[in-house]
Each structure stands twice: as C-alpha cells, then as structure tokens.
Amino acid sequence: MSGQHSNSEIAVRVRGLEERLIGAGLTSDEQLDAIIGRVSSGSPAHGARVVARAWVDPAFRERLLADGNRGLEELGFSLSSGPQPQRFTVVENTPTRHNVLVCTLCSCYPIALLGPSPSWYKSEAYRARVVREPRAVLAEFGLELPGDTEIVVHDTSAESRHMVLPMRPDDTEGMDEAALAALVTREGLIGTAAA
C-alpha cells in the first residue's frame, strides 16, 4: 500500500513522488490505496472463470456478449468501482473471425478484472505492429491462423475495456467448469493465443 514501501531505492523515489502529489493536493493516501487495491484484486483467473462459464452456459454467453458489465456482475466481478465506471465488452472468436486487443496510445486494459497487463502489451513494438501486421505478430506468439480467418484488431482508445472470448478447445466435452477455466490463459483473453 502507499506509505509502506520497502527500503529500496525505487520505493523511496516512488514514495517521494507520492508525497509531492499529495502535498500538491492532487491525490491522497486513501485514493492511492483504493487504486492499488483495485489493481491488486484483478487476476487473469477471473477472466478465465467468465470464459469457462460462457463455454458451458449458452444463455450466460448471450447475456455476456450483449452486456459485458452485467455478465461480469453475475459472477461477482465489476469494472464500475473506479473514478468513472468503465464499459466492458466481450468480443467473441469464431471459426471465421479472430479478435486481438491493443492500446496503441498507452496501455489501457481491464486491470480491475485481469490485474496488471503483461509487459509486452505495453511495449512499443507490440502496439505499433499489431495494428499493422497482426497475422505476423500472432505467428510470433505461436498462433498460426488460417489464411481466410478475418482478423479484427481492437484499439482501446476511449473509455471501454475489452476481453476476448476464445473458442472452446476441441475434445473438452467431459470437462467441468473449473477444468475448462484452467485452459484459459491471459494471452487467450487478449487474443494473442487461441485460448
């Protein structure tokens, strides 16, 4: 939490910055703690739970795709706790369409649901290249898509946040929801992996 940094050089510098911002009246320890709490509560496992439920419950899947915020709330998650509620949408992969997420301007990401984004998601290389040559970038991640698959790159440039709903892998008919959730990776939720 803010004010409780270990005694490393970077922590001292971070605390110095926090104190300057608080002193200038721009924020408070309480506000910083609330943000850190929101970020810390997110996890890719939460997204995986949402995906697994959508795989086993067609009615939930429909509701989730129609209104991502309401779908999250059914499972006890929310992106509405921040300074301004974020609209949440789930984009569905199909046999003919693959979705991949980016924020070319910075690093917008559904942090309160999924936790901090991976470092590559924030890298200039990923942000610059995935809008221009997604097929090549996905191949570098090990995802080779059929030539006729339509690719949609979603640039998170405003106040919405997104998550990809991967296709359910083959030969998983006998699996329960928990086992299915274990198949879902953070890359699958961003669209740089199949699941």
Partner 1 sequence: MTEPRFMAGDRVRTTTVDPPHHTRLPRYARGQVGEVVEVQGTWPLADERAQGLPDARVEPVYTVRFAAEDLWGPPGGHWVQVELWESYLEVVA
Give the residue among 107, 111, 88, 119 at the shortest CA–CA distance from 42: 111
Q: Which residue has the tokens 């002193």?
A: 23
Q: Establish if 125 lies at the interface with partner 1 (CB under 8 A).
A: no
**Cα angle 10-11-12, degrees, rounded to a multiple of 5:** 90
Nearer to partner 1, 6 or 84 (CB): 84
Give the residue among 166, 190, 32 at the shortest CA–CA distance from 116: 190
Among 157, 172, 179, 182, binds partner 1 (CB under 8 A): 157
- 108 assigned to active site: yes
Catalytic residue chosen out of the listed positions 107, 117, 123, 160: 107
- 2 assigned to active site: no
Closest approach of partner 1 to the CB of residue 43, in Å: 25
**Residue 111 burial class via C-beta count within 10 angstroms: exposed 0-12, middle 13-18, buried 19 and up:** buried
> CA 104 → CA 44, 78, 109, distances in Å?
21, 24, 11
Q: Establish if 122 lies at the interface with partner 1 (CB under 8 A).
A: no
Nearer to partner 1, 151 or 167 (CB): 151
* Neighbour count for residue 166 (Cβ, 10 Å): 24
Catalytic residue chosen out of the listed positions 28, 106, 123, 157: 106
Q: Establish if 158 lies at the interface with partner 1 (CB under 8 A).
A: yes
Q: Establish if 144 lies at the interface with partner 1 (CB under 8 A).
A: no
Residue 130 structure tokens: 């995935």
Nearer to partner 1, 5 or 135 (CB): 135
Residues 7-26 close enough to bind partner 1 by CB under 8 A: none
For the chain, counts of helices (H) and of strands (E)? 11, 4
Considering only 1-9, 44-52, 151-159, 165-173, which stretch makes contact with partner 1 by CB under 8 A?
151-159
Q: How many residues bind partner 1 (CB under 8 A)?
A: 19
Among 31, 41, 78, 104, binds partner 1 (CB under 8 A): 104
- Please provide residue 80's backbone torsions phi and psi, each rounded to the nearest 5 degrees: -105, 10
- 106 assigned to active site: yes
> Which residues here bind partner 1, judged by CB under 8 A?
84, 87, 104-105, 131-132, 134-135, 150-160
